[in-house]
Amino acid sequence: MYKQKNVVLNHWLPPFPMVRRGRFLCSETSKFFNQKQTPTHRPIKQVTKSNFSDSLSQLKTQISGSDFVAVSLQKTGSYSSPWHRILPFDTAEIAYLKAKYAAERFQILQFAVCPFSIRADANHYKLIAHPFNFHLFPRDELKLGMPCYSFSCQPSYIASMAKEDFDFNVCIYDGISYLSRAQETAAKHLTGNPVSSNYAVQPSTTRSVADNVFVERIKSRVRNWISACKRSDMRSEDALVSSLRRLILGGEEYGSRPSLNIDVCSERQVQLVFEMVKSHYSNVVPLAITSKGGGTQFVRVVLTSSQEDRELLKKELRNMEEEQSRRLCGFREVIDFISASQKPIVAHNLLNDFTFIHSKFLYPLPPTMDEFTSSLHSAFPDILDVNHLMKEISPLTKYSSLPAATSYLKRNFFAPIKMVIPQKGSMEESKNHGHGVVRISELFAKLCFILRILPQAEYHNPDGPSLKRYTNVFSPDSNNFQDSDEADDISIWTNNPMKISINNLVFLWGFRSGTSAGKLKNLLSKSHNLLSEDHAFDVRLVDNSCAVIVFWKDGLSEWFLDAIDSGDGLRELAAEGMMAAGYDTYKRICESEILGVDLADSLAEFDRISEAHTKEPQEVYWNSDLMINFDDL
Amino acid sequence: MNKQRLMRSFSKTLTHSHHSFSTSSSSNNFAIKNVTKSNFDSCLSDLRRHVKDADFVAIDLEMTGVTSAPWRESFEFDRYDVRYLKVKDSADKFAVVQFGVCPFRWDRSKHSFVAHPHNFYIFPRQEVGGDDGSYEFFCQTSSIDFLSKYQFDFNLCVKEGISYLSRALEDKARLQLHSVHEDELSESSCTVKDIKDLPLVRMTDILFVERMKTKISEWHDDLLLTRNGRPGRTPEDSSDSIAHFQTIFFRMRPAIKLNGFTSRQLRLIKSVVEKSFKDLAYIRVNDGSCAQQLIVYTESRSDLDLLMKEVKGIHFKEAEMKIGTAIGFRHVIDLLSSEQKLIVGHNCFLDIAHVCRKFIGPLPLNLKEFVTLVQKNFPYIIDTKILLNGNSMLQLKMKKSSTSLAKAFAIICPHIASADNMLGPAQSPSVSVEVQVDDMSWNSGAKHEAGYDAFMTGCIFAQACNLLDIDFSSHLMLMKEEKLRNYINLLYLSWTSGDIVDLKTGEATTECSAFMTFKIQQPKILFSNIVLIWGFSPTLKAKPIKETLCKVFGLTSVTSIYHLDKTAVFVQFSQPELVHDFLELKSKIEKKNEALYVLHPLSDLLEGGRTRAASYEVYKDICGSPLSKVLFADQAAAVGVDLNTKMLESKAHKNGSFDNSDIPMDTKISETEQPMKSSPGSKNLHREEILDIVSC
């Protein structure tokens, strides 16, 4: 008897009416498909360094006016070795770790964004899309070693991109650079934001005598300076006098306004100056001027002529800060705008794409899936995965590629979508990249049609079919993971909905490279009585050198591991050099960040470590809680 | 390693001043032959001829990067073995995108050298084998940006670049092919048949299968009828099937060509044939470039087996051919190696490492073995940088200026580098170089490509030999030339430190010529006195660390301190025992949580509880790891797992030929094993550490 904990989607038949597309009724409707512009004619706005700021404002308008934003990425690779792909027997956590590994390794070369809306017309849905394709390159614009020191490329991936006429020169020569949110903070720290008006004024603590002396001295100095400025305003003086005055008072002009620099020796003094100015001189704006090293060099106080003038100055300063941060964050402004718009995002392969987005544009990826989802959620509250929506329609088949999913829908369903792209293309047609994002929005519209979801009616009709239940689903077999208590159950093969515990999986290696799964199965069933029964186990190859065995009976895997380790029972296999390890070892490899090229080698290495560990006496080891914090004393 | 960069910035100014010197094509630029996939084969045969005739061959490479992490750059505190590991890491991770080869031949009649500069675009496209991670490569952002500044054509490289297969991978592919082939032959044909059938889930599939079954049996019956002397049906009868079924002969057997089916339909046909027709065989053969599926009629069971054997033989041959063609650019390297020509490079240790890694096989773990590998394949290498710095006469000529490639070219070969022919001959006798390329597909060199770099290197060498009064007309081969004996097979392991490796012996020495005068002579570094500290508070700088240590171990205890990056420092103590004392004291403070230690001077350094320390050997191990994190502390934490096992093993035997540490093994690592203890608590700590450091 095997464990059958969770059968994926017991409702094979969808709970909503579906229009199954007959084989012969398409003659009339096919015009929708014919009408559809062939990909090369879809005008996708290509954005590089030179037209970035113009396109950005266009994109912002389009995002604000649209219901959804579809995104799609073109990367330099997706996995380093076959077993680094997300495999059917990976738990959600392992899938995340693998996606993290790839996201930290590879680079994004193109980021396509498509704000779109779906409107229901008489008998079809109308898709209004505004596709943009941004070319990126992580150029170190600020010479700070950011955004990335080096990245990896998967030649097969690169070569297939080349076949699709991807223009690497455009990316590398004219790609837009960026900094992640984390990097921006670091960069600001390094370069020093030259001027900052929002120095956090903390509630005053008790002042020492020295503090008071300092404040009084500054106060009188500022007072003198202000009165001098006012006096000079009244009568026009000649250039010599005004420059002399400037020399004596230490005043300067800040733009068109008079200003005075006050030297400070500590951050404490900066705070004192700010406090004093705020409480005594309403028309004076203090600015902290930072040095290259990071600390405040001096405080510059600027005199404004009136309340309005003061506001004007503050606005100017804000603009300046924005300009500065725009220069730093580059392409990330697009991400920030999408995030701020709170529009639902539509993606294909959510986990892969959003680990990339998170690590390149937000923050370094956290170690666990939970932390990742919560961090991502705070930036993008609603994310829809078309892959997941596909699962609703066809639970048993996995359509990993967009064209496969599209053609499946075309074959089986009647979903007339009329696509409208109002904008014009920006480059010659051969350079028209970024179709993925258009396909995603089209596929999404079709799925909405099939699932009878009218996206824009959603908020008016809360009882109707809703997209909400499809949002933020991360793992490939999400239905179950979302609320399953037993997160360690996985569905073992893509086309088999059976759920088994990961404890029933054993990794086997040490056979000759090139051996087929069938041969291995043969070999194993001949090796022991327990294995000779029908349906005792199944074997799949993970890569050339390693296979995974799934035991349909509980307990058999433990027996197998013991037997192959000790050599009794499975003497034959052990003698041939076969080795085995449980799922635990596999998990530890994925957690370790050192994912070798061959799974077999990594397993062997980690198996050895765990043995070494169990033999080592457990020592008292470092615990941060026990450490006394030196600052507290 | 900075060679390319320096060179380019200098030679930028040269581009405009190039005028014809004695180019055969009297253009204003150098003519350099560009070689890509499309013209590789024709170029190769020409190149074979040129290399055979050549007196020496200059090479140069352009890579996608040099260092995979900032701390992998070359430091003063790097020992020879560590330097090698850093070069190995570079050769392992980055790809070669351009390869310049320039054979130079001495023409006695013209009394000049004839050069044939070639600029090969190469790309590590995988042509054979499965999905193998060994082709993945890194790009260093700054290097790519740098290449783009000099108009490197990345599209040409990716689309038209020549692929290659290293000797090791070729052997592996052949071995696998042979074993699979033998397996196939030993298997009886019936076992092959138990391939999983496609499940007939769709209505269309079932209909299709039925229709195919009828059609195939019609054809089959027809065939038998014709055979028995009766006329078969006229083609008109089965006109609808003509598009798909076309009777041909395959190895003297009647067969149908299956055209215009989808791959799914083909699989269905295959299962129909295998299930329902005992005397028909479904086979796949390659017809020119594309695969062709056939259904072949066989006389008998034995005939069927024979056919299958024949088909397997064809497939085997095809696969072998494919491996043969996949060798690609390696033919050039094989040529250089087999001709045993004198190879000339400029500061070329990294180049040679790339050549070995990309075209021979994985690099060995230590310098000695590497040197043996190089000697075996390239017995004569000369580095123009060594030559220029090592010879006093050439030094004088260089007037102590930089020996970067472009600068050296401008000084040593002014008659080639600039148009002012008046200058050259007047000063000193100079050897002239004539460039020859065939008429097709050459570009106006001088664009700072590998081919041009190789040409410059060769010119420098030729001129340097001339200055050394080497007689090119004599029958002596250049590599046997007495005057070059002191320079041949010496390479800079690191130019900045003046570490030189002798390829004949594998010994590494530090350059000690008169030339060293303008380099600041560092006090001798004693690696056994060094302790590596990382993971401390990022605000801590070298000076306070030194002060802290001096407080504990005495004012003269610390000889020097050196920042690896912002997360790690090397500390060199005055006595080797201090390394041990420090590590011991550190673990003592950390293990006991007594208040007494809070006031200990070391507490500053250990603040935060993530400070780790280890002896120099651990640094070597960390450098040897395939991982490349940007910050050293992250790298050390991630490598921790690996290290731990190594520590356990190394208790048994000491390692490394350069190992000169006398520290007992158990103190080699003090805290590194903690983060990877498998308890959940420590695991989290380990993760936090990485996060903290990345975000700061």
Give the chain B residue whose CA is nearest to the CA of A366.
B691
Q: Which of A99-103, A562-566, B329-333, B680-684 has the lowest mean pLDDT?
A: B680-684
Q: Which of B169-178, B192-201, B423-432, B657-666 has the highest mean pLDDT?
A: B169-178
Q: What is the pLDDT at residue B285?
A: 79
Interchain CB contact of B595 with A (< 8 Å): yes
Q: Which of A76, A84, A144, A150 would you mutate first to test chain B, the one with the most B CBs within 10 A?
A: A150
Chain B: nearest CA to A78, how far in angstroms? Answer: 11
Do the Cβ atoms of A514 and B176 come within 8 Å?
yes
Higher pLDDT, A151 or A565: A151
pLDDT at B90 over 90: yes
Q: A249-308, pLDDT tens digit by residue?
A: 555 666 677 777 788 777 778 888 888 888 888 778 887 776 655 566 777 778 887 888
Residues of chain B found within 8 Å of residue A613, distances taken between Cβ atoms: 677-678
Is residue B312 within a helix (H) or strand (E), and if so which, with residue range?
helix B301-326
Q: Using DSSP, how many helices (H) and how many strands (E) does chain B show?
A: 26, 21
Q: Which of A458-472, B315-329, B469-483 has the lowest mean pLDDT?
A: A458-472
Q: A209-247, pLDDT tens digit by residue?
A: 888 888 888 888 888 878 877 776 555 556 666 666 666
Q: What is the pLDDT at residue B512?
A: 58
pLDDT bucket at B599, cuts 50 / 70 / 90: low
Any residues with CB less than 8 A from the CB of A529 and at least 6 apart, and which? none
Q: What is the pLDDT at residue B370?
A: 92
The position carrying tokens 């920006």 is: A426
Interchain CB contact of B136 with A (< 8 Å): yes
Chain B: nearest CA to A212, how far in angstroms? Answer: 31
Are B267 and B254 within 8 A, CB to CB? no
Taking the C-alpha atoms of residue B474 and residue B478, their distance in angstroms, rounded to an integer, is 9
pTM above 0.90, yes or no: no
Q: What is the pLDDT at residue B51?
A: 92
HSE toward the beta carbon, residue B100, CA cutoff 13 A: 31
The pLDDT of A512-528, averaged and rounded, is 78
- Alpha helices in A429-543, H assignment, sequence order: 435-450, 478-483, 517-527, 529-532
Q: What is the pLDDT at residue A629?
A: 34
Do the Cβ atoms of B591 and A620 come within 8 Å?
yes
pLDDT at B131 over 60: no
Of B67, B69, B139, the CB nearest to A153: B139
Neighbours of A310 (CB within 10 A): 18
Q: Over the Cα atoms of chain A, what is R_g?
A: 32
Are B439 and B392 within 8 A, CB to CB? no
Q: What is the pLDDT at residue B443?
A: 60
Q: Which of A350-364, B127-141, B620-634 has the lowest mean pLDDT?
A: B127-141
DSSP secondary structure string for all residues of A233-258:
HHS---HHHHHHHHHHHTEEEETTEE
Residues of chain A found within 8 Å of residue B687, distances taken between Cβ atoms: 367
Q: What is the pLDDT at residue B94?
A: 93
Q: What is the pLDDT at residue B229?
A: 63
Coil, strand, or helix at residue A550? strand
The pLDDT of B491-512, averaged and rounded, is 80
Interchain CB contact of B168 with A (< 8 Å): no
Are B156 and B132 within 8 A, CB to CB? no
Do the Cβ atoms of B138 and A150 come within 8 Å?
yes
Do the Cβ atoms of A592 and B685 come within 8 Å?
no
Task: Enter the ipTM.
Answer: 0.77
Of A150, A364, A613, the CB nearest to B694: A364
Of A149, A512, A608, the CB nearest to B141: A149
- Measured CA distances, B80 to B321, B356, B657 (Å): 42, 19, 11
Do the Cβ atoms of B126 and A594 come within 8 Å?
no
- CB pairs A-B closer than 8 Å: 168
Are A549 and A538 within 8 A, CB to CB? yes
Q: Which of A500-509, B377-386, B472-481, B528-537 has the lowest mean pLDDT?
A: B472-481
Q: B356-414, pLDDT tens digit by residue?
A: 999 999 999 989 999 999 999 999 999 988 888 887 778 777 777 777 888 888 888 87
pLDDT bucket at B4, cuts 50 / 70 / 90: very low
Q: What is the pLDDT at residue A466?
A: 62
Chain B: nearest CA to A311, how far in angstroms? Answer: 34
Give the chain B residue whose CA is nearest to the CA of A152.
B138
Of A149, A167, A518, the CB nearest to B630: A149
Q: What is the pLDDT at residue B397?
A: 79
Are B473 and B108 within 8 A, CB to CB? yes
Average pLDDT in chain B: 75
Backbone angles phi, psi at A231, to 5 degrees: -65, -45
Q: What is the pLDDT at residue B683?
A: 36
Chain A: nearest CA to B46, how far in angstroms? Answer: 28
pLDDT bucket at A81, cuts 50 / 70 / 90: confident
Taking the C-alpha atoms of residue B580 and residue B528, their distance in angstroms, rounded to an integer, is 10
Higher pLDDT, B450 or B228: B450
Query: Cis link prior to B626 (omega < 30° from 0)?
Result: no
Are B453 and B405 within 8 A, CB to CB? yes
Do the Cβ atoms of B141 and A605 come within 8 Å?
no
Q: Which of A196-205, B94-103, B317-326, B573-582 has the lowest mean pLDDT?
A: A196-205
Of A149, A618, A631, the CB nearest to B69: A149
pLDDT bucket at A16, cuts 50 / 70 / 90: very low
Q: B148-159, pLDDT tens digit by residue?
A: 888 889 999 999
Q: What is the pLDDT at residue B592?
A: 66
Of A107, A364, A620, the CB nearest to B691: A364
The tokens for B480 are 């046997």
pLDDT at B469 over 90: no
Chain B: nearest CA to A357, how far in angstroms? Answer: 16
pLDDT at A589 over 90: no
Q: What is the pLDDT at residue A267?
A: 73
Residues of chain B found within 8 Å of residue A593, distances taken between Cβ atoms: 627, 638
Give the chain B residue whose CA is nearest to the CA of A186.
B696
Do the Cβ atoms of B124 and A155 come within 8 Å?
yes
Higher pLDDT, A468 or A373: A373
Of B68, B603, B671, the CB nearest to A150: B68
Do the Cβ atoms of A620 and B179 come within 8 Å?
no
Q: For chain A, give the percent of residues with pLDDT over 70.
A: 71
Buried residues in B144-173 as b, exposed as e (16+ CB within 10 A): bbbbbeeebbbbbbbbbbbbbbbbebbebb
Q: B621-655, pLDDT tens digit by residue?
A: 888 888 888 888 888 887 774 444 444 444 434 33
Q: What is the pLDDT at residue A355?
A: 93
Q: For chain B, give the percent of residues with pLDDT over 70.
A: 74
Chain A: nearest CA to B372, how far in angstroms? Answer: 27
pLDDT at A474 over 50: yes
Q: What is the pLDDT at residue A565?
A: 77
Q: What is the pLDDT at residue A202?
A: 57
Do the Cβ atoms of B695 and A363 come within 8 Å?
yes
Q: Which residues 364-403 of chain B have a CB within 8 Å of chain A?
A: none
pLDDT bucket at A5, cuts 50 / 70 / 90: very low
The pLDDT of B553-565, averaged and rounded, is 83
The pLDDT of B467-482, averaged and rounded, is 77
Do the Cβ atoms of B694 and A182 come within 8 Å?
yes
Residues of chain B found within 8 Å of residue A606, distances taken between Cβ atoms: 641
Interchain CB contact of B628 with A (< 8 Å): yes
Q: What is the pLDDT at residue B664?
A: 39
Do the Cβ atoms of A628 and B140 come within 8 Å?
no
pLDDT at B187 over 80: no
Of B655, B681, B651, nearest to B666 by C-alpha is B651
Average pLDDT in chain A: 74
Q: What is the pLDDT at residue A20?
A: 46
The pLDDT of B83-110, averaged and rounded, is 91
Give the chain A residue whose CA is nearest to the CA of B606.
A630
Q: Which of A25-29, B135-139, B236-240 has the lowest mean pLDDT?
A: A25-29
Residues of chain A found within 8 Å of residue B134, distances taken between Cβ atoms: 597
